[in-house]
Each structure stands twice: as C-alpha cells, then as structure tokens.
Structure 1
Amino acid sequence: MADPPTPAPARPRDAALGSGLGRVLLLVYGIFALSASARALVQIATHFSEAPLAYLLSAFAGLVYLAATAGLALGGARGRLIALTSCTIELLGVLIVGTLSIADAVAFPDDTVWSHYGSGYGYVPLVLPFIGLWWLRHNRPR
C-alpha cells in the first residue's frame, strides 16, 4: 500500500509580498520610481533655478519610490523594513508637501509628484502609501 501524499509545505506569509496585489504594487512603485526620477532629472537639468525646492522634492520622491520598489522586490525582514520605512516617508511626504503646496503656492511654482496631494498623477501618490502600508501589515510574518 502506498503512503498518502504529503501536503506541500505551507507558503510563508512573507512570500505573499511578491504575489497577487504585491506584484501590482511592485509594478506601480517601479513606474513611479522611474517617472518621478526621470521628471526630476529633466527639471533639474533644464531649469533648476526656477523652482529648486520643487525639483529637489521630486528627486527625493523618486528615491523614496525606488527604495519602496527595492524593498517590495527584496522581501524578507530587510526588504519589509525598507518598504515599511519608504511607504511611511512617502505618506508623510505627500501629506506635508501636498499641504504646503496649497498653503504656499509661491514656494512651489512648479508641480512635484507630491504637490497638491499628487493631483497631477491622479492622486495615486496619496492612495499608494496607504495601500502599501496595508499590504505590508496584512502580509507581516506572524
């Protein structure tokens, strides 16, 4: 008589970071890392003196999106920490820069990814960190 098949080992909860919605988040963060960084590089190279604060904030946002992308792609404890830190900085950035860009339009003569709460990007920069933080919490190791 043959032994019954052994069940496949349970997938660790952390493996879900890179599956399903995790892959979509990885794609969206990758797109934002590329678009925010490229936009900032062009703005800094072509007319930095017109709005240095806005362009430097765009470059910073690009780095934050790049770090979040790397954290989600890396996974594990280190990747989770990088993604968690990046999503938190992103949330604070979009809330602070969004508020300042409305309150003091003179300081932001040109848009950044986070100005006006990401209105130039369909408010995705406002929603994305909430989804990212939820996803990281939902898929945290037990």
Structure 2
Amino acid sequence: MISSSRPRMTGIGRVLVIVYAIMALASTGRSFVQIVREFDAAPVAYTLSALAAVVYILATLALIFSRSQGWYVVAWIAIVFELAGVLIVGTLSWIVPAMFGHPSVWSYYGGIGPDGYIGYLFVPLILPFLGLWWLWTHRARVPAAAAEVAAS
C-alpha cells in the first residue's frame, strides 16, 4: 500500500503548482495573441504554443487534484508529454529553425535562441523534471481494499 502522511500541497508542491499555473497563463496568453495576430506567419509554432498551453493547464489541474489516483495518472501523462514536447521541439528548433518560422513556448528548450530570442529562461526544460520528481516522491494513496486486490 502506498501512503503518505505528508500534506501534498505545501512547500515545494505548492510552488510547483504556482509555477505551472504561471506557465499555463503565460503560454495561453502568448498563443492567443500569436494565433489572432499572425497565425499565417508561423502556424506550426503558434499551434505548438497553444498545445503547450493546454498541457500546462492540464498539468496544473492534475497536480492540484493528484491526491486521487485518476488525477495522479493524468499528472504523470501530462508532464511526460510536456517533457517529450520540450525536448523534441527544443532540439528541432536548434537543428531545423526554419521549420517553425517563429519561436514557440518550447523552442530552444524555453531558453535563449541563436538570434537573441529570450524565451522562458529554460523553465519549460526544468519544470517537467521537477514535476516528475515531485510526483515520484508524493505518490497517490491507494485505498487499502484496492491494494489487497492488487496483491492477490
């Protein structure tokens, strides 16, 4: 049986949720403005920014409600997807910068691009590692009856 007597939303957990919420707001605002103003200029980059916004919103909610087993699983899926997205988009933005047209939230790993573009100070690269660590160290509780069924 996995259990923890520690409160989940204190200390680093609370800070993590706040940073995810800030990234959700920032990427939502950025993608909205990009899509409304100049979607035709870089549809891939702006669609990726919108996708990042959805992932950050979902991860924020999942972390808040991760005491339940279902939300805990959703948090893992969202954050692993986020990590894959930032690694893939970040790598491709360095290797094939013309593919995107303009930077997205995950371009250059959320850091500084070759043209002096300043992203999110590498927060998109660091955040999923912190999120996965936090999920790993704060596993969702499994009810005793479910643990007994799983053990048999």
TM-score by length of 2: 0.82
**Aligned-residue offset at 1:20:** 1.2
Residue identity over aligned pairs, in percent, reads 47
**Aligned-residue offset at 1:14:** 7.6
Aligned equivalent of 2:123: 124
Aligned equivalent of 2:135: 136
Aligned length: 131
What one-letter code is carried by the residue in structure 1 that aligns with 2:30?
Answer: R
What one-letter code is carried by the residue in structure 2 that aligns with 1:68?
Answer: A
Q: Deviations over 1:36-95 (max 9, x none)?
A: 011001100000000000000000000000000000111221221111111100000000
Pick aligned residue for 2:85 from 93, 103, 114: 93
Mapped to 2, the partners of 1:102 and 1:85 lie a distance apart of 26
What one-letter code is carried by the residue in structure 2 that aligns with 1:45?
Answer: V
Higher helix content, 1 or 2: 1
Gaps of 5+ in 1: 1-11
Aligned equivalent of 1:6: none
Where 2:139 maps in the other structure, the secondary structure is coil
Aligned equivalent of 1:83: 75
TM-score by length of 1: 0.87
**Aligned-residue offset at 1:126:** 0.3
Where 2:8 maps in the other structure, the secondary structure is helix
- Rg (Cα) greater in structure: 1
Q: Does the aligned pair in 2 maintain the 1:13–1:139 contact within 8 Å?
A: yes
1:1-142 equivalent positions in 2, closer than 5 A: 13=4, 16-75=7-66, 76-119=68-111, 120-141=119-140
Mapped to 1, the partners of 2:28 and 2:37 lie a distance apart of 14
Where 1:16 maps in the other structure, the secondary structure is coil
Q: Does the aligned pair in 2 maintain the 1:14–1:141 contact within 8 Å?
A: no
Q: Does the aligned pair in 2 maintain the 1:16–1:22 contact within 8 Å?
A: no
Q: Does the aligned pair in 1 maintain the 2:72–2:140 contact within 8 Å?
A: no
What one-letter code is carried by the residue in structure 2 that aligns with 1:106?
Answer: A
Mapped to 2, the partners of 1:64 and 1:95 lie a distance apart of 14
Gaps of 5+ in 2: 112-118, 142-152
